């Protein structure tokens, strides 16, 4: 059946392809791995991050393109490229990125690490003593958990897990039963580490490592006694990892997902990676097993899974090869023995992670357990991690009989299993657990506490305290991602948060919120309205300015509104970490728009929207990027920073340093290419400057 999508309403020349823009971001991350000014082990980490990002890109974006090609969809996104054209361009760029990755690894990073005393021992380099130790390791730790599978009619090709390490073996000769299919598959158990550290006295150095793949190659003959091994080749397959649940068919989302999650490991194959020494005969055989084509084959000059090197920097205790430790501070309003409620009654508290600690948020949640005056907590749960003190606090608070409501997003990609487990534990503890609104991901980051207090009018009642954030309730990522969080007991803001929770847990019409902009209702029209207000001001000859920071900018109506603003004379600065479909600096279209991306030690994650508004300077923080999914298929919240002092802080910390950055900033050209800025005089790096500026007293233990 031939599928035709409706034509775009906007000129295709106005937009850059989303997938190619995402790969351009991977290029910028890869540049960190190539930067000699960055410590060596951190360069290795950036290299692994690129591999992890590419894995997800193939699992989701390439899988979607392949599905569209299979369904014969002929039109694409706003840029006008067909799925076939996009797929071809994506494959070429992905290969180029992978080629550069392995060049950096093999020609720069690994040799330089060896000079520094961190050596990855190749088989050809093993001394007799090292070889003996590794053989003993193979017999003790590896051999007992291997299951070699010789392929014949009784042993069909095994089901291969998504992204798992496997070995394809070519054999010659007859076994004990007279069989010789010529092929066997050995799957590396997931319990085995992919990198093994040798004792220093055996390695001859403090840090000597061997790859599991090297050990397997060396001793694979032990698995096929009496037969000749002609070749042993690493391979792994990447599969479609998107989950699908039918709204009309399911009655319980959690049960449906629990049934669907195991199948994620066995979705349709989208990419086959093999070691570059793999024979064409074996490569063709493997492609046939996974119903893939030659275009889906990627040969790697080294490990087929660089993500597994991500742990190495944590294993190596060498301060000279890593970033200096970062210790988050507390805002000056808080001190070691602060009372979070007393502090919030005095003023709102703005937290800028990871430069400032996540501890005040944890303190607010601990109050749900320890403070007898806190009677209820409501919270959205998108990503918290498997080991979360915050979630443990909610469980204990529910066990104590407090009213705990958790809006758990079960469709948070790659966190579904963790969220299902937390939902079950919370329910067992007596919490109210809901899963938001089916068909709309609950991506808003909200928490609301009700505490019994003496109110200003002298009566006893409930005062509400809220946290609203741009990032997740995940203590680990709060140390790695840049985000803002607002702690407040502003009754009007808290009332809006309360209304959002009513929508998420109950039924009824959407309420008009006083201050919050909410997707899928008011966020998109309010942003369009704010952009048009700046446009009207510019046309009237008044100062007009928009500055926005986000992860992705793709939504066509927003982009066209920004083009109109530029044509009217509005100064538009966009700080977009990842994919950006808007073309800046096009004469007559976007002369007044500048786009930059900042890539540094921490992952830029905060969303900040600034509008000059005739000098009022409206500043909003949000959980949403400017994408269709965030505006129309997710529940998101955009909230104002009302306190003048905190508003100045957001501008000073969240926008100005990034506009001044001349080291880690990349400027976008009209064709979608990026050029890294270099300092002419004074060096300015936003993240480094913020680390210095916000350094302060260590957070309380």
Catalytically active residues, by annotation: 443
Which residues, listed in sequence order, are joined to residue 275 by a DSSP beta bridge?
300
| Collapsed DSSP state (helix, strand, coil) of residue 654 | helix
Assign 434 to helix, strand or coil. Answer: strand
Terminal alpha carbon distance of the chain: 63
Q: How many CB atoms lie within 10 A of CB 539?
A: 15
DSSP H helices in 309-464:
312-315, 340-346, 359-370, 389-399, 416-429
Q: In angstroms, what CA-CA distances link 633 with 324, 437, 503, 506, 520?
A: 41, 10, 15, 19, 7
Burial of 82 (0-12, 13-18, 19+ CB in 10 A): middle
User: Based on the number of CB atoms within 10 Å of its own CB, is 262 exposed (0-12), middle (13-18) or buried (19 or more)?
Assistant: exposed
* Four-residue CA torsion sign, 55, 60, 61, 67: positive
CB of 465 closer than 8 Å to CB of 487:
yes
Assigned token pair, 88? 């071809």
Q: Is the dihedral of CA 415, 417, 420, 425 positive or negative?
A: negative
**CA dihedral sign of residues 548, 498, 463, 404:** negative
The answer, yes or no, to whether the previous bond of 275 is cis (omega within 30 of 0) is: no
Structure tokens at 671: 């064709």
How many of the other CB atoms lie within 10 Å of CB of 327? Answer: 12
The residues with which 441 forms a beta bridge, in sequence order, are 634
Tokens of 186: 């050995």
- CA pair distance 610, 588, nearest whole angstrom: 24
Dihedral, CA atoms, 684, 686, 692, 698, nearest 10 degrees?
-170
Query: Does residue 116 contact residue 321 with C-beta atoms inside 8 Å?
Result: yes
Angle between helical axes of 128-137 and 212-219 (0-180°, round to 10): 90
Collapse the DSSP code of 225 into the 3-class scheme (helix H, G, I; strand E, B; otherwise coil) and give the result: coil
Per-residue CA distances from 190 to 113, 203, 607 (Å): 27, 25, 37
Classify residue 622 by burial, with Cβ atoms within 10 Å: 0-12, 13-18, 19+. Answer: buried
Give, for 40, the enclosing helix (H) or strand (E): helix 40-56
> Crossing angle for the helix pair 18-34 and 83-103, nearest 10 degrees?
0
Rounded to 5 degrees, what are φ and ψ at 35?
Answer: -80, 110
Identify any residues that bridge with 376 across adjacent strands, giving them in sequence order: 403, 450
Question: What is the spatial distance between Cα 389 and Cα 395, in angstroms, rounded to a whole number?
Answer: 10
Task: Report the 10 Å Cβ neighbour count for 515.
Answer: 15
- C-alpha dihedral sign at 519, 525, 526, 528: positive
User: How far is it, in rounded angstroms, from Cα 548 to Cα 565?
Assistant: 14
The residues facing 381 across adjacent strands are 408
Question: Cα–Cα distance between 597 and 675 in angstroms, integer?
Answer: 10
Look at strands 634-640 and 441-442 and give their pairing.
Answer: parallel
Distance separating alpha carbons of residues 417 and 558, to the nearest angstrom: 34
Taking the CB of residue 26, how many other CB atoms lie within 10 A of it?
21
């Amino acid at each position: 059946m031939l599928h035709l999508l409706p034509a775009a309403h906007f000129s295709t020349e106005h937009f850059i392809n989303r997938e190619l823009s995402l790969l351009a971001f991977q290029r910028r991350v890869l540049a960190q791995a190539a930067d000699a000014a960055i410590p060596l082990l951190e360069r290795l980490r950036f290299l692994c991050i690129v591999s992890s990002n590419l894995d997800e890109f193939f699992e989701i974006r390439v899988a979607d393109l392949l599905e569209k090609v299979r369904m014969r969809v002929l039109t694409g996104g706003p840029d006008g490229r067909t799925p076939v054209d996009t797929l071809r361009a994506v494959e070429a760029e992905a290969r180029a990125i992978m080629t550069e990755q392995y060049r950096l690894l093999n020609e720069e990073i690994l040799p330089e690490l060896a000079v520094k005393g961190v050596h990855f021992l190749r088989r050809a380099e093993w001394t007799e003593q090292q070889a003996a130790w590794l053989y003993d390791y193979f017999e003790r730790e590896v051999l007992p958990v291997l299951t070699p599978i010789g392929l014949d009619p009784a042993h069909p090709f095994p089901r291969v897990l998504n992204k798992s390490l496997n070995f394809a073996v070519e054999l010659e000769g007859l076994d004990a039963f007279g069989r010789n299919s010529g092929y066997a598959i050995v799957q590396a158990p997931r319990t085995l580490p992919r990198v093994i550290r040798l004792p220093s006295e055996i390695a001859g150095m403090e840090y000597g490592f061997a790859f599991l793949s090297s050990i397997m190659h060396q001793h694979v003959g032990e698995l096929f006694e009496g037969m000749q091994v002609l070749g042993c080749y690493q391979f792994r397959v990447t599969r479609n990892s998107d989950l699908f649940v039918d709204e009309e068919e399911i009655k319980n989302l959690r049960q449906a997902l629990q049934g669907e999650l195991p199948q994620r490991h066995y979705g349709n194959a989208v990419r086959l990676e093999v070691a570059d020494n793999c024979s064409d005969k074996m490569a063709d055989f493997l492609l046939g097993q996974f119903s893939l084509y030659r275009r889906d084959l990627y040969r790697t000059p080294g490990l087929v899974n660089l993500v597994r090197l991500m742990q190495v920097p944590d294993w190596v205790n060498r301060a000279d090869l890593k970033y200096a430790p970062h210790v988050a501070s507390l805002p000056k309003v808080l001190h070691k023995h602060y009372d979070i409620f007393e502090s919030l009654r005095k003023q709102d508290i703005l937290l800028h992670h990871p430069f400032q600690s996540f501890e005040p948020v944890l303190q607010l949640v601990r109050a749900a357990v320890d403070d007898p005056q806190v009677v209820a907590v409501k919270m959205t749960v998108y990503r918290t991690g498997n080991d979360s003190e915050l979630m443990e606090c909610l469980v204990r608070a529910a066990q104590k009989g407090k009213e705990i409501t958790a809006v758990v997003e079960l469709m948070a990609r790659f966190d579904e299993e963790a969220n299902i487990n937390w939902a079950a534990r919370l329910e067992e503890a007596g919490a109210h657990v809901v899963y938001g609104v089916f068909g709309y991901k609950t991506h808003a980051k909200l928490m609301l506490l009700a505490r019994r207090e003496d109110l200003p009018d002298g009566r006893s009642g409930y005062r509400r305290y809220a946290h609203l954030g741009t990032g997740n309730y995940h203590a680990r990522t709060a140390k790695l991602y840049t985000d803002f969080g607002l702690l407040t007991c502003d009754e009007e803001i808290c009332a809006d948060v309360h209304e959002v929770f009513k929508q998420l847990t109950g039924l009824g019409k959407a309420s008009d919120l006083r201050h919050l902009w909410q997707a899928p209702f008011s966020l998109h029209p309010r942003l369009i309205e704010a952009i048009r207000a700046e446009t009207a001001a510019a046309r009237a000859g008044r100062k007009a300015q928009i500055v926005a920071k986000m992860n992705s900018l793709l939504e066509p109506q927003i982009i066209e509104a920004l083009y109109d603003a530029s044509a009217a004379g509005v100064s538009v600065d966009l700080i977009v970490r990842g994919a950006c479909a808007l073309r800046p600096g096009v004469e007559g279209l976007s002369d007044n728009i500048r786009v930059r991306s900042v890539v540094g030690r921490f992952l830029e994650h905060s969303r900040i929207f600034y509008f000059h508004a005739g000098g009022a300077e409206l500043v909003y923080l949000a959980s949403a990027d400017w994408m269709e999914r965030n505006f129309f298929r997710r529940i998101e919240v955009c909230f104002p920073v009302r306190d003048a002092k905190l508003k100045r802080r957001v501008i000073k910390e969240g926008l100005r340093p990034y506009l001044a950055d001349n080291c880690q900033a990349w400027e976008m050209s009209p064709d979608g290419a990026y050029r890294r800025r270099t300092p002419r005089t004074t060096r300015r790096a936003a993240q480094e400057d913020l680390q210095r500026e916000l350094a302060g007293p260590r957070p309380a233990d």
